[in-house]
Amino acid sequence: MSGKLQDKVALITGASSGIGAAVAKKFAAEGAHVILVARSVGGLEEVDDEIQNAGGSATLVPLDLLDTAAIDGLAMPLFERWKKLDILVGNAGMVGKLMPTQQYVPELWDDVFKLNVHANQRLLRALDPLLRQSEAGRALFVTSSIAHENKQFWSAYAASKAALETIAKTYAHEVAKTNVKVNLIDPGPTRTRLRAIAYPAENPEDHPLPETKAQMFLDAVLSEENGTLFKA
């Protein structure tokens, strides 16, 4: 298999379903070896089956990113096998619950930040040396317009995405003189489980399938932009 990502190694979080799975399949179809990270073993295996059946290759990493300390263990196996990481897609995220800020359950608030913010910083901490070993390292993080809208009841998710954007843009400046490029992507409303949790009264068919957003991610990782927000 050959394509725009031939011989690239790409790690994608939240890869067992939704946008993460769609991006993984797209990257594999373009020749990348994809490393699929998610909690759901069954979901990972289903995505892997589709990739293998299409002629691609994948490595499955069942990992709960809420266990942020475990993220450090990703680096050594990647180094031993590939010596580099070409693409990091920080896609995993959670909405939490929509409720007034003062009523938010502390444990759930912490989990939203652990997954949406802390896990991505730990990924950079662990994988930055491998991204720098790539001829064209790319880090892409998924955000949302909610981060800037100040909508009532969205404080945890919005604040966590705003924090993620700040981290990504700061890191982009820090690696500006290297081969690494760091960007954000806002895929917009998409027919995913996360969207259904946030808007249970919506008709899911009003929004496009995750597969329709995968090209955005490919365009973003092929871009020479740094510190840019790509929007649907």
CATH number at residue 155: 3.40.50.720
Cβ neighbors of 228 (< 8 A, separation 6 or more) are: 183, 184
Q: Please indicate, yes or no, if residue 2 is contained in any of the structural domains.
A: no
Q: Write b or e for each residue in 158-191: b if 16 or more Cβ atoms lie within 10 A of its Cβ, otherwise e.
A: bbbbbbbbebbbebbeebeeeebbbbbbbbeebb
Q: What percent of the chain has pLDDT over 70?
A: 92
What's the total number of domains in the chain? 1
In whole numbers, what is the pLDDT of the chain averaged over residues?
94
Measured between alpha carbons, how far is residue 78 from residues 13, 17, 202, 221 in Å? 15, 23, 41, 20
Measured between alpha carbons, how far is residue 118 from residues 71, 95, 160, 161 in Å? 10, 15, 9, 11
Q: Please indicate, yes or no, if residue 3 is contained in any of the structural domains.
A: no
Catalytic residue among 104, 157, 171, 199: 157
At 232, is the pLDDT very low, low, confident or very high (cuts 50, 70, 90)?
Answer: confident
Q: Please indicate, yes or no, if residue 183 is contained in any of the structural domains.
A: yes
Q: Please indicate, yes or no, if residue 87 is contained in any of the structural domains.
A: yes
pLDDT value, residue 210: 86
What pTM was computed for the model? 0.94
Q: Evaluate if residue 90 carries a pLDDT over 70.
A: yes
Q: Evaluate if residue 46 carries a pLDDT over 90.
A: yes
Q: Please indicate, yes or no, if residue 1 is contained in any of the structural domains.
A: no
pLDDT value, residue 28: 98
Each residue of 92-132: pLDDT tens digit? 999 999 999 999 999 999 999 999 999 999 999 999 999 99
Q: Evaluate if residue 229 carries a pLDDT over 70.
A: yes
Q: Evaluate if residue 2 carries a pLDDT over 70.
A: no
- For range 143-164, the mean pLDDT: 96
Report yes or no: 141 and 230 within 8 Å, Cβ to Cβ: no
pLDDT value, residue 188: 85
Q: Evaluate if residue 1 carries a pLDDT over 60.
A: no
Q: Among 33-37, 63-67, 188-192, whose mean pLDDT is lowest?
A: 188-192
Instruction: Report which of 124, 51, 89 is spatially closest to residue 221, judged by C-alpha positions.
Output: 89
Q: What percent of the chain has pLDDT over 90?
A: 89
Q: Which domain holds residue 82?
A: 9-231
Q: Please indicate, yes or no, if residue 14 is contained in any of the structural domains.
A: yes
What does the chain come to in residues?
Answer: 232
Q: Please indicate, yes or no, if residue 189 is contained in any of the structural domains.
A: yes
Q: With 0-12 CB in 10 A as exposed, 13-18 as middle and 19+ as buried, what is 2?
A: exposed
Each residue of 171-224: pLDDT tens digit? 999 999 999 999 999 998 776 776 666 666 667 666 678 899 999 999 999 999
Is 157 catalytic? The answer is yes
